[in-house]
Amino acid sequence: MKEQVQAFLLHLHNKNFSAHTLQSYEQDLQQFTAFCAARKCTRVTDFTLPNVRAFLASLSNNKYARNTTLRKIASLRSFANFLVENEQLPSNPFKLLPAPKRERLLPKFLTVDETNRLIETAAGSEHFGARNRALLELLYSCGMRRSELTGLKISDVDFFNGVVKVLGKGNKERFIPITQTALQALRDYLATRRNPRAGEALFLNKNGTPLTGDGLAYLVKTLSIKSNIARKVTPHSLRHSFATHLLNNGCDLRSLQEMLGHKSLLATQVYTHVSLDKLKSVYEHAHPKNQEKQL
């Protein structure tokens, strides 16, 4: 079965799946094959409904979050489809297995004050202050995923037109407007680089090599602690903050969907549940009873 897992991962790589997605698939499938090996089920034909049920029961016993379990199910279902298509498996065992409903988690975002404090902390870094400020300004300005940001090249930033070209999920390109503040922060950062070339990575680490997703996550975590923000902050927190703050200030869902690179509007609509400040403001100004009080 392990050989077929490697063939499947190569198949996904050739279809331009992101490195983060490939890593998740690999971890999920390795966990499943290790579980099967412990049960002395190492052949592809051992990928059966009873073994799948037993594996999911073990996840439940280990109290995995529902959405984590759903991701593992999706990984296994895709692998099973691959095996069926390549005539390694007679049928997909997941056809007879109902999937639990996805838990709808509200995005965790920073307030405007917390966001500004985080960026100010980044700018005041003892080392790489210009880079750190530019990095966070760009994350907050464009709401990119961490893989999208670390994949940027200098040439992807259009300083004249004020947009950045992003390569998102499914290898799809999109253009996102960028604030003048973020553009200036990028100019200041690039001025600290020795002969920066258009084809080079936009953000480098301390060793002069492209910044990785894990490096970015560690940097954001460290800066959030120094900013005295009393909760976990990730690069995705700034993506959520970008979306929530735009909605609170009147951005429409379709435009936000385009900027976030969401395939479906349903994925964008989750942010309407966290824009309570905007909803309260509209309510207070629109409800007749509130208008009576003002009179």
**Catalytic residue at 72?**
no
Which of 169, 174, 193, 226 is catalytic? The answer is 169
273 catalytic? Reply is no
- The secondary element (H helix, E strand) that includes residue 45 is none
Q: Which residue do the tokens 């900027």 mark?
A: 259
- Tell me if 272 sits within 8 A of 253, measured CB to CB: yes
Tokens read off for 44: 């592809």
What is the rounded CA–CA span in Å between residue 33 and residue 149?
Answer: 33
DSSP 211: P
Q: Which of 25, 140, 189, 271 is catalytic?
A: 271
226 is catalytic: no
Catalytic one of 117, 239, 240, 245: 239
- Active-site choice (145, 146, 240, 245): 145
Q: What is the DSSP string of 248-288?
A: HTT--HHHHHHHHT-SSHHHHHGGGGT-HHHHHHHHHHH-H
Q: How far from chain centre, in Å, is Cα 46?
A: 34
Whether 197 is catalytic: no
Tokens of 47: 């990928």
Does the annotation count 145 as an active-site position?
yes
**Is 127 an active-site residue?**
no
One of 72, 236, 240, 245 is an active-site residue; which one? 236
* Residues carrying an active site annotation: 145, 169, 236, 239, 262, 271
